């Protein structure tokens, strides 16, 4: 894996983490936050 690929992959991971944080903060209910948390745990990098 080249340095460029690693940088690109890291950028994607950071982008996904920020999107998950926004989704958790804007979730209207506890159940929705739980669903988002389950999704976040199942993602693979």
Residue-number span of the structural domain to which 21 is assigned:
3-42
- The pLDDT score that the predictor gives to residue 16 is 92
Size of the chain in residues: 45
Q: Are 37 and 29 in contact (CB under 8 A)?
A: no
Residue 20: which residues within 8 A CB-CB, separation 6 or more?
36, 39, 40
Question: How many domains, in total, are found in the chain?
Answer: 1
Compute mean pLDDT per 10 residues along the chain, 45 residues long, and list them: 94 94 95 93 75
Q: Is pTM beyond 0.85 here?
A: no
């Amino acid at each position: 894996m080249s340095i460029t690929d690693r940088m690109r992959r890291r950028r994607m991971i950071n982008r996904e983490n920020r999107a998950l944080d926004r989704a958790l903060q804007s979730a209207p209910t506890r159940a929705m936050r739980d669903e988002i948390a389950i999704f976040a745990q199942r993602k693979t990098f």
